[in-house]
Structure 1
């Protein structure tokens, strides 16, 4: 399972991320911090370690294609041995250090894994499971070109972490799940940058709800590469006068049947 770390320790880890902009460094549930994978540190110090709860991502570079097999959980997406315990209805917070890009939507997804006796999340095929969106944020105000995006508003420049809290649907049926955080940066003309990371969760609770099939998506497959929200030039005259943006991937499942 995860390791308990003090805020002081987590702050110390931030020094690794001062110049990085491509990944989710830590997770928190309540006061407990969980360490994610760090592509800047030796793989042998992380691969298969009992405290690891995040799928491996070997580079801060983005995924550039909406049809890449690594769109699900980054490259190579190797599963960790452990899980973050979290109760349905509680928050899990993704921790970034000095996220730099300002434009584009952010989404969070869950996918159910096989039972532990069947291999758990380590046995899950990230390209075949049914992902369902549980959180999203995009353009908050202003125009597509010059407005305020949530991706920009969650950034901190005082050395403190950039925090992204997501609530696990309270009615969700307990079990083993993967959580997928994705930042889609669209600041370069017609060249979207996808930054996905996945972690393993052991969700507890008394809920019985699961999302209808219409909410379930696959990665790749959830996005059309020609979607005007993905293949976009935000610097056109039209975008300078556009005050709305449709976040790709379909609707959020709120936990209701």
Structure 2
């Protein structure tokens, strides 16, 4: 079995994050790579790239284009039990993943251009009565023990990348600055011979505090929801909210 090393560009502030969700682990093709973030509410700050206080990584994860990277999220540090919701308290919203190509993933700060490779957002629940009853990416993630499968697009060129995994919790997003963004960046070295060159966005800049996917009343009747940021690129993955845990690499861990 191959072994990989990874590090997270994140704020290691456990005392502040105890009540919040945290991206903690990374899996590659079903192998656990065996690591906390506080929410970002100011979408104009540099912290929206990879969370606050990024530091140089100790290593990189080697992956191949087409591999599946599985990011793992939990509300409490060191709690990876499927018996508990990965993120509770009605922290419903979209789950999104971005890539940015960089010179050296170990030292990159996320200031380069990003493109979206994965999104699990929203779908109407015909038996529900409001947005909180609808299908959300976070609900799918909870059904999958906090795990989110993210295929690296087959046409990804070889090189170093940051992978940015993000949840936007909308439980208090009815006012400006209420949406809570949880993100972490992982350092990857991709092996591949693709030649994709997708359009990119900048963080900050990709989101506005007034975006309808950011300023959003989850408890009112919802007829539509569009996650913020760009569309998923060609070759990326758009999951249908409400499909639960489908094809998850490591859904049976205890």
| TM-score class, shorter | 0.7 to 0.9
The answer to which structure has the higher helix fraction is: 1
- SS of the equivalent of 2:53 reads coil
Whole-angstrom distance in 2 between the partners of 1:180 and 1:225: 20
Residues 154-193 of structure 1 aligned to structure 2 (within 5 Å):
154-156=141-143, 161-188=145-172, 189-190=174-175, 191-193=178-180
Contact 1:20 1:99 in 2 (8 A): no
- SS of the equivalent of 1:151 reads helix
Whole-angstrom distance in 1 between the partners of 2:115 and 2:181: 17
1:154-212: CA deviation from partner (whole Å, max 9, x where unpaired): 214xxx8311000101011111000000100011132100001001001112212221x
Whole-angstrom distance in 2 between the partners of 1:109 and 1:79: 19
RMSD across aligned C-alpha pairs, in angstroms? 2.1
Tell me which residue corresponds to 2:10. Answer: none
Tell me which residue corresponds to 2:81. Answer: none
Contact 1:27 1:93 in 2 (8 A): yes
Tell me which residue corresponds to 1:109. Answer: 98
**One of 93, 113, 117 as aligned partner of 2:70:** 93
When the two structures are superposed, what TM-score results if normalisation uses the length of structure 1? Answer: 0.73
Tell me which residue corresponds to 1:249. Answer: 229
Whole-angstrom distance in 2 between the partners of 1:68 and 1:210: 26
**2:58 matched to 1:81?**
yes
When the two structures are superposed, what TM-score results if normalisation uses the length of structure 2? Answer: 0.74
Q: Which runs of 4+ in 1 moved over 6 A?
A: none
Tell me which residue corresponds to 1:2. Answer: 4
5+ residue gaps, structure 1, are 5-18, 40-59, 115-119
Tell me which residue corresponds to 1:35. Answer: 34
Whole-angstrom distance in 2 between the partners of 1:246 and 1:216: 18
Contact 1:69 1:220 in 2 (8 A): yes
| Deviation, structure 1 residue 3 | 4.8
Higher radius of gyration, 1 or 2:
1
Whole-angstrom distance in 2 between the partners of 1:193 and 1:153: 18
- SS of the equivalent of 1:155 reads helix
Whole-angstrom distance in 2 between the partners of 1:224 and 1:3: 34
